[in-house]
Each structure stands twice: as C-alpha cells, then as structure tokens.
Structure 1
Amino acid sequence: MRLTVLGGCGAWPTAVQACSGYLVEYDGFRLLLDPGYASLPRLLHHHTVDAVDAVLVSHGHPDHCADLNPLLRARGLSDDPPPALPVYAPHGALDAVLALDRPSMLAAAYRLHEFTPGDRFEIGPFTVGTRLLPHFVPNAGIRLATPHGVLAYTGDTGPSADIPRLAEGADLFLSEATYIHRVPDGDAPCLLTARLAGQYAQQAGAARLVLTHLWPGTDPATARDVAAELFGRRVDVALPDLVVEPAS
C-alpha cells in the first residue's frame, strides 16, 4: 500500500498547502480519498485525471470534497471521457458539490454510491470499514484493509473511544490534529489535538502516525513533537508530496 499526500491543511488552502487530499494505491488501483480544496492540481503533479479508479469521501465539508467538481469536469468534458468514476460518500454529503453544475452536465462522469457510517463494503482491492465519528456533520472514520496492510483515517472528528478501535493495529494511522494542545471550547466535541492523536495512536497500537488537517499557520514540527511524546513511534505531518508505504 502506498499513500501520497496531496494536501493536509485544515479549513482552507494556503499558498503552499492544499486541503485534505490523499491518493492511496494498492495492486495497481488508485483510490482518491477526500479531494478537498486545491487537491486536484497536486494530483495532476502525479497522475492524469483518468488514472483515478475511485473516490472515497469521509464527510461533506468542502475542504474534504470541493475538488471533486473540477475532477469530474476534467474527466466528463474531455474529448475522450474515461468510464464513469465510482464515488463513495455518506448519504447527502456530496449534494452541494454535485449541485455546482446542472445535473445533466456531469451525469455520465460518475456513479454515486452512498453509505451510512458503520457500513462495510469493497472498493477495488480495498475492504472498507467505516465508523461514525463526532463532527459538525456526519463523518465516517475509514479503515482501508488489504491482504498486506491497513490504513486508518479519521476524517474530521472530535474525541471518541471509537478512534483507537478504528485504528487498532493499523500500519498507518492518518489522524486529524487541527490544534496542538487544546481545541477552543465551542469546537472541542468536534475536533482533535495533536496530543490526542498521539494518545489514540498509542492506544490503538498503530505502527505509524501521520497528522493532518492542521489549522493554517500551525507549526508542523511542534505538532509532530507533541504527538510523538504520547505515541512513542514515528510521526509525520501530511505535507504535500509526502509518500508513505506502510505495507507493500
């Protein structure tokens, strides 16, 4: 399994960092996870748009799905359109982004498969397990399993005992860490800190931790060091073009 980070900035993109966007590859299959703001240009540094085999979205906030629209435009409006792209998302999560164009314009460019967090299904060579994790909107924590490894991803979430269950024994745990030490009171039920991400990774027995969704302007090194204090193993931050191969 191979993870390529396209972006990992929380809320909005910066001049040097796209929002959430991750390409997960295994056995020749390319799964695009959470195509947030500005992630498509980063994808195009690595592959053409027709190289994506499926898209999986954790929740409907635009910093996790907005670039699905230009991805579908680039595929559906090309001179030689590729086959319809399978797109998986919680029920209703993509209503807004899919409504950006008239329905008939991109209808042939995708096949939407909606699920309820808690469902289990297959995407190509991946067995996908999902869990409902607390956020401002319904959010699916995602566990991608292959015969050779497991990647767990929180999407955006607040504190939950289900997080270490989601990441139990994972070869790679991709965890949101919007803040470093403390989440502001009003948002505390819906977001994590780097400290909590490290704690959950340690409880899960994950082999490697990658922090993502850091608030714009957050120092990555500080977030990494704080998480490592609790985790005690390798910690990285989801910066553009980071490549991690937790299992092959």
Structure 2
Amino acid sequence: MRLTVLGGCGAWPTAAQACSGYLVEYAGFRLLIDPGYATLPRLLDHGTVDAVDAVLISHGHPDHCADLNPLLRARALGEAPPPALPVYAPHGAVDAVLALDKPRMLADAYTLHEFRPGDRFDIGPFTTATWLLPHFVPNAGIRLTTPDAVFAYTGDTGPSPDIPRLARGADLFLSEATYVHEVPAADAAHLLTARLAGRYAREAGVARLMLTHLWPGTKRESALEAAAEAFDHPIDVALPGLVTHLTQEDPRD
C-alpha cells in the first residue's frame, strides 16, 4: 500500500499547499481520499483524472471535498468520459458540492454510495471500517485494511477514546493536528493538537505517524516536536508530493 499526499493544509489552501487530499494505491487500485480545495492540480501531477478508481470522503467541509466538483467535470466533459466514479461519503456530505452544477450535467460521472460513520464496507481491495468522530459536522474516521498493511485516518476530529481504537496497530496513522499545543476553547471538542496526536499514536501502537490539517502558517518543526513529546517512532507532516510506502516492499504497488 502506498500513500501520496496531495495536500494537508487546514481550512484553506495556500500558495504552497493544497487542502486535504490523499491518494492511496494498492494492487493497481487508486483511491482518492478527501479531495479538498486545490487538490485536483496536484492529483494531475500523478496521473489523469480517469485513473482514479474511487473517492472516499470523511466529511462535508469544503477543504475536504470541494475539488470533487472539478474532478467530476473533468471526467464528464472530456472527449471520452470514463465510467461513473464511485464516491463514498457520509449521508448528505457532498450534497452542496454536487449541487454546484445542474444535476444532468454530472449525472453519469459518478455513483454515490452514502454511509453512516460506523459502517463497514469494501472499496476495491480495501476493507473499510469507519468510526463516528467528533467534529462540527458528522465526520468518519477511516481505517483501510489489506492483507499487507493497515492505514488509519482521522478526518477532522476532536479528542475521542475511539481514535486509538481506529488506529490500533496501523502501519501509518494520518492524524488531524490543526494546532500545535492547545486548541482554542471554543473549538476544543472538535479539533486536535499535534501533541495529542502523538499521544494517541503511542496508545494505538502505530508504526508511523503523519500529521495533517495544520493551520496555515504553522511551523512544521513545531508540530513535529510537539508530537514527539509522546511518540518516539517516525513522524512526518503531510506535504504535497510526500510518498509513503506502508510496507517495506509490496510488488503489487
């Protein structure tokens, strides 16, 4: 299994960084997770729009799903439209994005599979388990399992005892870390810090931690240092183009 970061900036994109977007590949299958603002151009650095086999969205905030619209437009309006793209999302999460165009314009470009956080289902070669994690809107923590590796991703979340359960023994844990040491009181139930992400990674016994959704302008080094207070295994920050192999060697990647 291989993860390619398309972006990991929280809230809005910057000149150097798209919002959340992650391409997970295994056995020739390409799963796009959270196509947030400005991720489509970064996706095109790694292949064509018709090379995506499915999309999985954690929640309905636009920094996690806005670029679903240009992705579907590019597929629907090209000279040779590919088959309908399976899109998996919590109920209602992508309604606003899909409403940006007249329904008939993109109707053949996607097949929507709505789920409730807590559901389990298969997407291509991935066994997918989800958890309802606390955020301003319903958010699905995601755990992808293959015979070779486990990948866990929080989406956006506040503190929860379910986070270590979601990430238990994962080869890679991709965790929300909007703030470094402390979340403002008004948002404390809905967002995480890098320090707490490190603590959850240690509790879950993961092999590797990757911090994402850092607030624009946050220093990468500060987030890494905060997470390392509790977690002494490898830690990265999600930056565009970063590629992580979840296993040492996988001939199917």
Q: Distance in 1 between matches of 2:207 and 2:129?
A: 19
Q: Equivalent residues in 2 for 1:37-52 (5 A)?
A: 37-52=37-52
Q: Which residue number corresponds to residue 237 of structure 2?
A: 237
Matched, 1:169 2:169: yes
1:85 is aligned to 2:85: yes
Aligned to 1:60: 60
| Residue number in structure 2 paired with 1:98 | 98
2:80 and 2:95 map into 1 onto residues whose CA distance is 26
The 5-angstrom pairing of residues 198-213 of structure 1 reads 198-213=198-213
1:226 deviation in Å? 1.1
Instruction: Map residues 51-200 of structure 1 onto 2, 5 A cutoff.
Output: 51-200=51-200
Unmatched 5+ stretches in structure 2:
none
**Separation (CA, whole Å) in 2 of partners of 1:228 and 1:147:** 29
Find the counterpart in structure 1 of residue 28 from structure 2.
28
The sequence identity of aligned pairs, in percent, is 77
Q: Provide the rounded CA distance (Å) in 1 between the counterparts of 2:221 and 2:35.
A: 25
Instruction: Tell me which amino acid in the other structure corresponds to 1:75.
Output: R
The aligned amino acid for 1:78 is: G
User: Per the alignment, in what secondary structure is the counterpart of residue 127 of structure 2?
Assistant: strand
SS for the counterpart of 2:218 is coil
Runs of 4+ in structure 1 over 6 Å off: none
Q: Which letter does structure 2 place at the counterpart of 1:230?
A: A
Note the C-alpha offset of 1:229. Answer: 1.8
AA paired with 2:166? Answer: L
Return the alpha-carbon distance in structure 2 between the equivalents of residues 95 and 228 of structure 1. Answer: 39
Could you give the per-residue CA deviations for residues 156-192 of structure 1, whole angstroms, max 9, x where no partner exists? 0000000000000000000000000000000000000
Q: Which runs of 5+ in 1 are unaligned?
A: none
SS in 1 for 2:107: helix
Mapped partners of 2:198, 2:231: distance in 1: 5
Q: TM-score, normalised by structure 2?
A: 0.98
Partners of 1:198 and 1:72 in 2: CA distance: 36
User: Which residue does 2:222 correspond to in 1?
Assistant: 222
Q: Measure the CA separation in 1 of the matches of 2:177 and 2:133.
A: 14
The alignment's C-alpha RMSD in Å is 0.4
Q: State the one-letter code of the partner of 1:228.
A: A
Deviations 1:71-107 (A, max 9, x none): 0000011110000000000000000000000000000
